[in-house]
Amino acid sequence: MFHRRIGIGVVSLSLLASLLIACQSDPANRADQSAALESAIEINQLGFAPTAHKEALVPAGVGDRFELVDVDTQRVVFSGTLSKAERWPVSGQTVRRADFSEYQRPGRYRLRVAGELESIVFPIEEGVYAGLNDAAVKAYYFNRASTALEQSHAGVYARPAGHPDDQVMVHQSAASEERPEGTVISSPKGWYDAGDYNKYIVNSGISTYTLLAAYEHFPQYYRDRDLNIPESGDSVPDLLDEAMWNLDWMLTMQDPNDGGVYHKLTTLRFAGKVMPEDATAQRYVVQKGTSAALNFAAVMATASRVYGDYSDAFPGFSERAMAAAELAWAWAQAHPDVTYRNPSDVATGEYGDQTLTDEFVWAAVELYLTSGDQVYLESVDLAAAEVEVPSWGSAVGQPWLSLLHFSDELPAELKALAEGKVTELANALTQEWQQSASGVPMRPQDFVWGSNGVAMNSAMMLLSGYQLTGDDRQLAAAQSLLDYVLGRNPTGFSYVTGEGVKTPMHIHHRPSAADGIDEPVPGFLAGGPHSGQQDLDDCPVAYPSDQPARSYLDHWCSYSTNEITINWNAPLVYVTGALEVIYQQDH
């Protein structure tokens, strides 16, 4: 793919990249590294669609004007004045913005400032994020549990099957009369959550929903994509085949005796740095919980709608999913406040959400949209429900995205409510974008564990707003967030493995660390800078800076900035697919 090759021949930047990687492991070189970063032009390393908003960041003090150079002809095709210098508080840098949105001619370019500072070579062309979107979906295939990855689909990342999960024990915390402690159940398939090998229902909730929403909102785009997964070529879009791998697993996490849903399927401790087939510790299903039941209900109700069109390929699935959703909903009604905390002998990921109002709203909305039955909405206070950027513990975006998609079929009052909520959030994010020195709507409090997920979920909400309002600023703000994740940031990383010139090489992902291959498994979005630097005690190397947007380490040790997860990749899929569709339309 063109954008995967753009680094070749970019001598000055690749030298800079090697310098940065060398400096990264040596705390004494912090100052050198900062100096090197200060001198680089930060830009989306994958480039832009012709009609997109296009900006780069230039360090202050280099010059006042910038030029766009066509690298094939060496001619200057566009020039402009840099914006006034402003300090971006989350990075500590003083930056100026080079806006070349006006220039729309396809080709390969570099930005140049004051005749000396040059950017990497980047394309302006149609379809510029299609390869990235494919890779981000294919990453889920690479994280499949209970199956071998064949060489024909996985190439060098082929591996034997791990975690059959056909002998999973009911943990003491999940014991019931019908399934006492130690009962063996079968719960195969699903995706590994992240760099670890466990499978968590709450995080599967937002991840699977977001992928299904990507399809539901842009079905035409996904109908013909060929990801070279085992199911490619069948009558079902590859994205839906991939999502079915996890849905099949999720269904097994419901106890048929009462409709309750186990919070997670896990070992007692995290596995070592080994391949899946070598991680053979006993697996358990642990405590049922309200959050698990509601995430499950929301996803199954959504899946029931989405796979309704594919009943030939999946006979009975749509009905089965809806029945499972209703059972889980009933369980949650009867057990409204069973929050989750790890039992004392379980030390793996917690996903312990303590506020469940938002999950009730989300599940109610999806059940309503699939069934048309008002009764679900009557049990929640939709008007009072929050609208915000969603995350694994906050289902504050999903219900509005879904309602908005069906807004033309909704009663007038509900339509107005959904449109108002989405517009409110998109406007707030757009205001952040306008006020930000770097044109990136990321506030200090957004640099949490998984900040790149925050960036992509923010972009998703902005694009939803744009679809409704047609306000180009909302589209530009979403593009800026993607630019940020793909290199327009103070670390200089394009945070998606294998996508861009300088990408993470040491993600906290067990297969990538244990497979003996230098390049990590492709298509994964690293968590990104986290001001909390929560893995300091486990890292033998220092963070390059304490600034929030620079608190990132491309090192295995940094599980709080360099892990990957299914929930951060999902909005990356949504956003890149949506942008492909939007830029193909004449906006």
Active-site annotation, residues: 196, 508, 554, 563
Hey, what amino acid is at 86? E
Q: Rounded to the nearest whole angstrom, what is the least distance from the CB of residue 520 to ligand 9MR in the complex?
A: 16
Does residue 571 interact with ligand 9MR by CB under 6 A? no
CA–centroid distance for 339 within its chain: 25
On whether the CB atoms of residues 566 and 573 are closer than 8 A, the answer is no
Strands of 284-285's sheet in order across: 184-185, 168-170, 284-285, 264-266, 199-200
Residues 6+ apart with CB under 8 A from 223: 237
Given candidates 157, 296, 317, 449, which one binds ligand 9MR under the rule CB under 6 A? 449
Does residue 349 interact with ligand 9MR by CB under 6 A? yes
Given candidates 119, 512, 547, 565, which one binds ligand 9MR under the rule CB under 6 A? 565
Residue closer to ligand 9MR, measured from CB, 242 or 563: 563
Does residue 551 interact with ligand 9MR by CB under 6 A? no
User: Residue with the closest Cβ to ligand 9MR?
Assistant: 349
Does residue 190 interact with ligand 9MR by CB under 6 A? no
Residue closer to ligand 9MR, measured from CB, 261 or 526: 526
Residues numbered 377-416 forming contacts with ligand 9MR, rule: CB under 6 A: 392
Beta-bridged to residue 194, according to DSSP, are none
Does residue 196 interact with ligand 9MR by CB under 6 A? yes
Neighbours of 114 (CB within 10 A): 14
Q: Rounded to the nearest whole angstrom, what is the least distance from the CB of residue 196 to ligand 9MR in the complex?
A: 5
Beta-bridged to residue 88, according to DSSP, are 93
Q: Rounded to the nearest whole angstrom, what is the least distance from the CB of residue 300 to ligand 9MR in the complex?
A: 22
Find, among 341, 287, 291, the residue nearest to 174 by Cα.
287
Does residue 535 interact with ligand 9MR by CB under 6 A? no
Residue closer to ligand 9MR, measured from CB, 288 or 510: 510
Does residue 194 interact with ligand 9MR by CB under 6 A? yes
Does residue 450 interact with ligand 9MR by CB under 6 A? yes
Find, among 86, 85, 45, 92, the residue nearest to 531 by Cα.
92
CA 499 – CA 344 distance, rounded (Å): 41
Neighbours of 515 (CB within 10 A): 17
Q: Rounded to the nearest whole angstrom, what is the least distance from the CB of residue 562 to ligand 9MR in the complex?
A: 10
Residue closer to ligand 9MR, measured from CB, 292 or 369: 292
Residue 200 token pair? 């968590």
Does residue 209 interact with ligand 9MR by CB under 6 A? no
Residue closer to ligand 9MR, measured from CB, 67 or 196: 196
Neighbours of 339 (CB within 10 A): 12
Number of residues that bind ligand 9MR (CB under 6 A): 12
Q: Rounded to the nearest whole angstrom, what is the least distance from the CB of residue 565 to ligand 9MR in the complex?
A: 5
Q: Rounded to the nearest whole angstrom, what is the least distance from the CB of residue 384 to ligand 9MR in the complex?
A: 25
CA 366 – CA 213 distance, rounded (Å): 11
What is the DSSP secondary structure assignment for residue 524, as one 8-state letter?
P
Does residue 350 interact with ligand 9MR by CB under 6 A? yes
Residue closer to ligand 9MR, measured from CB, 196 or 580: 196
Residue closer to ligand 9MR, measured from CB, 98 or 168: 168
Q: Rounded to the nearest whole angstrom, what is the least distance from the CB of residue 119 to ligand 9MR in the complex?
A: 32
Q: Rounded to the nearest whole angstrom, what is the least distance from the CB of residue 580 to ligand 9MR in the complex?
A: 27
Given candidates 118, 134, 388, 563, which one binds ligand 9MR under the rule CB under 6 A? 563
**Residue pointed to by tokens 């006042």:** 64
Hey, what amino acid is at 65? R
Neighbours of 219 (CB within 10 A): 14
Pairing of the two strands 284-285 and 168-170: parallel
Residue 406 token pair? 């069906």
CA 381 – CA 364 distance, rounded (Å): 10
Residue closer to ligand 9MR, measured from CB, 65 or 341: 341
Given candidates 118, 134, 193, 358, which one binds ligand 9MR under the rule CB under 6 A? 193
3-state class (DSSP) for residue 148: coil
Q: How many contiguous H segments (helices) and E segments (strands) does the chain have?
A: 19, 13
Interface with ligand 9MR (CB under 6 A): 193-194, 196, 349-351, 392, 449-450, 559, 563, 565
